[in-house]
Chains A and B, each alone.
Chain A
């Protein structure tokens, strides 16, 4: 049975100014139930500022935020009850042990006394903290502190979980665990996570927004992203290379370029017959085809292209 479309978080024309600088500019964002949204961008792109606004830690200069239809700025208490937030630095009281800390957080979120122990148990189990209850937070490793931070964010079963760079500073095993946890969370919660690590987005997100200079410069589903990635570049090597002009004339690949190392590069849609045309032309003209390698445009390239053009236009301005 298809789930009804249920918007858990909607931000409209969200803007934040610092003095004269714009940290976030007219950002629109929508999150559906069960969706994992990746907020991607270089450092200083406005990801953290956006998340601080979405969680009510920072008042936007203009714009509106609604959590499950409740306006965050007008009814902060009701709206915040539906949000779980892990900031960049996990907000942990180092002098408390894990159980005490989580019990405190549960009370902050008004979890009834009778349900408190179970909520804490459940959050600990989900974050792999089952045996850590009596440990002082100050004595935990960075990875476990991060888990406590996440446990704190999901403790009260919020509709929206907002995680600011949840895997930063963790070792590869811990990163894998946290990613699995995020995937698991998406069954019951909507998740927004910010990162500047591209494979992370591919690993866990359904949708991605790329931010740069406070604006969303790219927004698509992960499938859309993969599709755009499938625009391949073919790298061609020839024993007796033709000139670029004659290559273009023979194959009709008008966008072909010659690289410094002598290889030809040709953009090529995955289902086009261009590869066939090239091999035939190479055989006919005795170019001696030595290499034909497809080169994927990776997410890195998309990202670099988007953020670099912005920089260029800015430098030009």
Chain B
């Protein structure tokens, strides 16, 4: 059932030019960023070789690109998630889902999975670009895997947040703007934190992404992102339930 909903969502995303434009622009920007990091690496390579434990090409190029993707994809998530439920409210198609024998949790999860499926495309392409480094040198596959995992988990938080905000309003633009602002706020908690151990920094999903992306896969950071995602999804399904109560 969730797969049915997710697949429909995935298909519907591609029905609008927005999704294609987002995919194309993101791929273009990510390729430029990737190339820029690569040239940076070649520039500083002679100098960092003298260090005792120099950062490798994976750390600089892949790490940098994934971090940039984590920031850039906030815009994509805001634009793509805004219609998940708002459009259903506005076009009154939500009654199709509400009168079908499925639960609110299934609706929320289906929509979430559909969006994640879409986001895996730019993430997959970025991973392929990173893997292409292997053509000319030695790459740290473990670190690429860590970055991939960290980015997917971060995007799950973003998507769940976008779904939740989309469940609150019948105006897609309002939902999109709200999601974008919420994501910027969460990002600022990390970027503006002077002390990495501050509570505000801890609350930012981006800080957990950073730790995971360094290759430090530990339960506390993993579970932070997973639990946050689940919580947001549960909230979204509760909001859907509440709409039945309020009408």
Contacts and interface: CB of A to CB of B under 8 A. Distances in A.
Given A59-B244, A95-B16, A104-B8, A152 B96 contact: yes
Interface in B165-213: none
Contacts of A56: 98-99, 244
A57 B245 contact: no
Contacts of B46: none
Contacts of A16: 247
B244 A108 contact: no
Interface string A12-32: 000010100000000000000
Interface of B: 1, 4-5, 8, 11-12, 15-16, 91-103, 244-245, 247
B247 A85 contact: no
Contacts of A55: 95, 98-99
A34 interface: no
A81 B99 CA distance: 9
A85 B99 contact: yes
B244 A57 contact: yes
24 contacts: A16-B247, A18-B247, A52-B247, A55-B98, A56-B244, A58-B244, A59-B244, A77-B102, A80-B100, A81-B101, A87-B95, A91-B95, A91-B96, A93-B8, A94-B91, A95-B12, A95-B15, A95-B16, A96-B15, A105-B100, A108-B1, A108-B4, A108-B100, A110-B101
B93 A92 contact: yes
Given A57-B244, A59-B245, A104-B8, A91 B102 contact: no
B11 A96 contact: yes
A108 B92 CA distance: 17
Given A52-B247, A107-B4, A80 B93 contact: no
Q: Which 5 A-B pairs have the closest CB atoms?
A: A95-B15, A91-B96, A108-B100, A91-B93, A107-B4
A191 B84 CA distance: 32
Interface in A81-114: 81, 83, 85, 87-89, 91-96, 100, 104-105, 107-110
Given A81-B101, A95-B12, A152-B96, 8 more contacts: A16-B247, A56-B98, A59-B244, A87-B92, A91-B92, A108-B97, A110-B1, A110-B101
A78 interface: yes
A87 B92 CA distance: 9
Interface residues of A, number: 33
B84 to A, nearest CB: 13
A143 B244 CA distance: 29
Interface in A38-60: 49, 52, 55-59
Given A81-B101, A87-B92, A109-B100, A93 B12 contact: yes
Contacts of B11: 96, 100
Given A58-B247, A95-B15, A96-B11, A78 B94 contact: no
A58 B16 CA distance: 31
Nearest to B100: A108
A26 B170 CA distance: 31
A83 B100 CA distance: 8
Contacts of A110: 1, 101
Contacts of A93: 8, 12, 93
A81 B247 CA distance: 21
Nearest to A164: B95
Contacts of A78: 101
A105 B16 CA distance: 21
A83 B93 contact: no
Contact of A83 (B94, B96, B99, B244): B99
A107 B102 CA distance: 11
Nearest to B97: A108
A153 B96 CA distance: 9
Nearest to A136: B15
Contacts of B8: 93, 96, 104
Nearest to B242: A59
B146 to A, nearest CB: 37
Contacts of A152: 96
A22 to B, nearest CB: 13
Contacts of B103: 76-77
A188 to B, nearest CB: 19
B102 A108 contact: yes
A107 B93 CA distance: 16
Contacts of A100: 11
Q: Which of B103, B244, B245 has the most chain A CB atoms inside 10 A of its CB?
A: B244
Nearest to B88: A91
A108 B96 contact: yes
A202 B36 CA distance: 75
Nearest to A49: B247
Contacts of A95: 12, 15-16
A77 B105 CA distance: 12
B92 A89 contact: yes
